[in-house]
């Protein structure tokens, strides 16, 4: 297994291009199942999760072609992928694929909407919590799908097709909103989703579905109205920049000091998190080409925060913020309200010298003067990048093991950081 070696203590200076958002790219790729026509997606990040989903879509019969990189001012942009699902040859998504990535479960809605049947493995648990699929199934049942569970598979049937419905989610769920939104695009009549997730990635998928012919109103609000169509058309759509990658690099700059422009980043997609970051003493400005983040000489102030659905502070930045706060001048508090098991990075940060106490869903972080490099182990995607931030801010050498987690969600992480002065390298497994 590859490892990443970091020698900390160097401020970051320069610019970092922000990749397309993984959390939008995955459901956008799945949207190709909704039409016989070609769907072209631009700025798709080259990530392990994207590559796995491509394999799953090929298994369903989707033809894919990827454009090569072209010279010019936009060479940092991600891949352009052309997807054509003219004939869906298999409506089963097998366990060996779905078990490796939860988002692949979202093929359920499009498959039953278009093919009137689907057989998709239950995704099971994961490192950061159980994340049940009950809301996905509730929404699809409301649209007219007959749902059975047999031998670990969800079997969905809609012999007469799906129909519009009013769906009220008892709690906010990004995954269920994606699944029902995609299915509703091919349902007869109007679907109303209340208490829908409001994340920018949901809005990006809704914009793409609108280009394909479905009418979606209420984008960015908690109430989505979808006018389904009997048939959707092809479209060309550019994936929005990754706000989690934006926040991650912003916190790395705050932790190490320095001055970095995050090229292509959008302030509005990450307003709450950047406001919290600013309260630590980090300067954040909108720049002509993105967002400028800098901290030169000043200390890190402690903060208290709890994770919330958008537009609140995102759970996907909790571990990164914690890494930053290990160096704060005082005591900070983070309460994790989204996932019950998302503090596994705490023990690894402690190996670097962090002072963190856990009490249920709350972490109390007392800042220390220095972190010192040590061997550490990545436990999940966001936890692994928090160790990168801590290693960059610490003294001496940090070696991060099991970095395949990083490859799931961060494109060319070492290259982007080293271009800004970080001493970071990947050590290939021998």
Using alpha carbons only, how large is the chain's radius of gyration in Å? 22
What tens-digit pLDDT sequence spans the chain (430 residues)? 799 999 999 999 999 999 999 999 999 999 999 999 999 999 999 999 999 999 999 999 999 999 966 555 455 578 999 999 999 999 999 999 898 888 999 999 999 999 999 999 998 544 434 457 999 999 999 999 999 999 999 999 999 999 999 999 999 999 999 999 999 999 999 999 999 999 999 999 999 999 999 999 999 999 999 999 999 999 999 999 999 999 999 999 999 999 999 999 999 999 999 999 999 999 999 999 999 999 987 899 999 999 999 999 999 999 999 999 999 999 999 999 987 777 889 999 999 999 999 999 999 999 999 999 999 998 887 788 999 999 999 999 999 998 888 988 899 999 999 999 999 999 987 6
Neighbours of 239 (CB within 10 A): 28
Tokens linked to 329: 């001048």
Fold of the CATH domain 3-18+241-427: UDP-n-acetylglucosamine1-carboxyvinyl-transferase; Chain (3.65.10)
Is residue 239 part of an annotated ligand binding site? no
Is residue 171 part of an annotated ligand binding site? yes
Alpha helices (runs of H) in 170-301, residue ranges in sequence order: 174-184, 200-211, 243-256, 271-279
Yes or no: domain 22-238 corresponds to CATH 3.30.930.20: no
CA-to-CA distance for 391 and 375, rounded, in angstroms? 10
Residues tagged active-site: 126
State the burial class of residue 368 (Cβ atoms within 10 Å of its Cβ: 0-12, 13-18, 19+). Answer: middle
Q: Which of 56, 42, 183 is nearest to 109 (CA)?
A: 183
- Residues written for the chain: 430
For 363, phi then psi, to 5°, come to -115, 130
Q: Give pLDDT, residue 383.
A: 81
Strand partners, 99: none
Is residue 102 part of an annotated ligand binding site? yes
Is residue 316 part of an annotated ligand binding site? yes
Is residue 135 part of an annotated ligand binding site? yes
User: Is-above-0.75 flag for pTM?
Assistant: yes
Alpha helices (runs of H) in 367-430, residue ranges in sequence order: 381-393, 404-409, 413-418
Strand partners, 427: 3
Q: Provide CATH 3.65.10.10 ranges for the chain.
A: 3-18+241-427, 22-238
For 75, phi then psi, to 5°, come to -65, -20
User: What contacts 268, CB < 8 A, 6 or more positions away?
Assistant: none
Is residue 174 part of an annotated ligand binding site? yes
Q: Which of 83, 78, 82, 104 is nearest to 92 (CA)?
A: 104
Is residue 133 part of an annotated ligand binding site? yes
CA-to-CA distance for 82 and 98, rounded, in angstroms? 23
């Amino acid at each position: 297994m590859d490892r990443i070696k970091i020698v900390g203590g160097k401020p970051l200076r320069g610019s970092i291009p922000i990749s397309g958002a993984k959390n939008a790219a995955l459901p956008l790729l799945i949207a190709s199942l909704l039409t016989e026509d070609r769907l072209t997606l631009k700025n798709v990040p080259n990530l392990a999760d994207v590559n796995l989903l491509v394999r799953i879509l090929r298994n369903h019969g989707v033809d894919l072609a990827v454009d090569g990189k072209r010279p010019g001012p936009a060479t940092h942009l991600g891949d352009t992928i052309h997807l054509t699902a003219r004939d869906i040859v298999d409506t089963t998504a097998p366990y060996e694929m779905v078990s490796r990535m939860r988002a692949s479960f979202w093929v359920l809605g499009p498959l039953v909407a278009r093919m009137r049947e689907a057989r998709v493995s239950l995704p099971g648990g994961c490192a950061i919590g159980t994340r049940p699929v009950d809301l996905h199934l509730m929404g699809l049942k409301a649209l007219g799908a007959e749902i059975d569970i047999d031998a670990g598979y969800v079997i969905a049937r809609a012999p007469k097709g799906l129909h519009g419905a009013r769906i009220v989610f008892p709690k906010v769920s990004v995954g269920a909103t994606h699944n029902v939104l995609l299915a509703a695009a091919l349902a007869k009549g109007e679907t109303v989703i209340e208490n829908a997730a409001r994340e920018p990635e949901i809005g990006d998928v809704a914009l793409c579905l609108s280009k394909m012919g479905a009418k979606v109103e209420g984008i960015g609000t908690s109430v989505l109205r979808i006018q389904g169509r009997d048939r959707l058309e092809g479209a060309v759509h550019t994936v929005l920049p990754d706000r989690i990658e934006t926040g991650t690099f912003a916190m790395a700059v705050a932790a190490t000091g320095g001055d970095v422009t995050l090229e292509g980043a959008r302030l509005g997609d990450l307003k709450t998190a950047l406001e919290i970051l600013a309260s630590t003493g980090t300067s954040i400005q909108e720049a002509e080409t993105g967002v400028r983040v800098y901290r030169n000489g000043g200390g890190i102030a402690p903060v208290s925060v709890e994770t919330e659905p958008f537009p609140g502070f995102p759970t996907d930045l909790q571990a990164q913020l914690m890494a930053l706060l290990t160096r704060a001048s005082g005591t900070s508090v983070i309460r994790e309200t989204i996932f019950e098991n998302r503090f596994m990075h705490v023990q690894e940060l402690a190996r670097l010298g962090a002072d963190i106490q856990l009490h249920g869903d709350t972490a109390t972080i007392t800042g220390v003067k220095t972190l010192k490099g040590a061997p550490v182990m990545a436990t999940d995607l966001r936890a692994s990048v928090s160790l990168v931030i801590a290693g960059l801010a610490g003294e001496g050498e940090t070696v991060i093991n099991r970095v395949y987690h990083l490859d799931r969600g961060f494109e060319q992480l070492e290259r982007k950081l080293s271009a800004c002065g970080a001493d970071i390298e990947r050590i290939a497994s021998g």
